[in-house]
Amino acid sequence: MSSRFVIDTIVQQTTILVAQLATAKGIRAPLSHVADQVFLELANSIEEQGVPRKVAADMFGMALRSYQLKVQRLEESASERDRSLWEAVYDFIADNDVVQRAEVLTEFCYDDGASVRSILNDLVETGLVFQSGSRRSRSYRAASAEEMATMAAATDRETLSMIIWVHLYRSGPQSTAEITDALGGETEHIEEAIDSLHDSGRVSQNEANRWVCAHCVIPRDTKEGWEAALIDHFQAVVVAMSIKLRQMANPTLPSETVGGSTYSFDLHDEHPHRDQVRALLKNTRDEISELAETVREYNEEQGRDKATEKVTFYFGQSIADTDHFTNEDEKGES
């Protein structure tokens, strides 16, 4: 019962994060594939834990044959992603110079009209589409390539570079093919991102022609790369919890070097310890940054290959107005 509660809670919190990612920066990412992706990756992970396929099928409440067929179907179509209605509406407008509102509604007459109108409003609000004319003669135009493409392309390239940088630091030496298999995407884009990292000195090739990096630091004030930082933070938490869970199964007590602690402080503007608490993140970051630089310099002199363990220290901070929780509670009771 306790395990089920923990699983349900983690899934709930993860879906909140996915929802925020799917709507970040005004984009409405398609989510039609998420349920299938979760099922497939969860099934594979369960089987990797040594659970027989028949037992795995039972854990999903499925007959073995149905489970096998679903896994096979999803593995075969894993590279295909259906477009969302949001994408289809945007593409229809983008493929034409100017589109009348009536034309859009006619094109998507088999879809829910309220959803189409809502998507049109959303596209205008996010700046991807421009609107003109009165209510009855309203027309739409997609933002031009000159208005969007340059910034978007530069952002995407830098974002991919950051993700590869973090991936190499966490996973160790890999070839271009291995990086492409792990992260997906077009080989050409992966190669361009790696070249950018190599040119800037962030990665290098070892004697086996595999890409390596000795350190990875994503500046706090960078506008690009937040995706890579988020992935890195999330992975650090998941790895720490996974190792803790494995150690919990051992007869000996888990090591104090694995796991984490969470502290919360209730403060107000005149609280005597408010400044001290709010400075925790900066002070911790400064101390760790200095130590990380010392370790990096030593490793460069002695050789990183001598390392036999990777210690990851994750920390974070959030400040939420207590009114937020009060409003959420009231919302839940209504």
Q: Which two tokens stand for residue 273?
A: 């310890």
What span, in angstroms and rounded, lies between the C-alpha atoms of 83 and 80?
10
Q: Is 46 exposed, middle or buried (0-12, 13-18, 19+ CB in 10 A)?
A: middle
Q: pLDDT value at position 276?
A: 92
Q: pLDDT value at position 272?
A: 93
Q: pLDDT value at position 208?
A: 85
Q: Where are the beta strands (DSSP E) in the chain?
A: 99-100, 129-132, 139-142, 204-205, 211-212
The CB-based long-range contact list for 188-192 (8 Å cut-off, 24+ gap) reads 189/157, 189/160, 190/160, 190/164, 192/157
* pTM score, whole prediction: 0.47
Q: What is the pLDDT along the chain (334 residues), one digit of tens a residue?
A: 456 767 777 777 788 777 877 777 666 776 767 787 888 888 988 988 888 999 988 988 989 988 888 888 777 654 434 556 777 888 888 888 899 999 999 998 888 888 888 888 888 876 778 898 877 788 999 877 566 544 444 546 677 787 788 778 777 788 988 888 877 667 888 888 888 888 888 888 888 888 988 666 665 555 555 666 777 777 777 777 777 777 766 655 556 667 677 888 888 889 999 999 988 888 888 898 889 888 888 887 776 667 778 788 878 777 877 665 444 443 333 2
Q: Which two tokens stand for residue 234?
A: 């999330």
Q: pLDDT value at position 318?
A: 78
Q: Which residues are CB-neighbours of 185 under 8 A, at least 6 positions away? A: 160
Q: pLDDT value at position 1?
A: 45
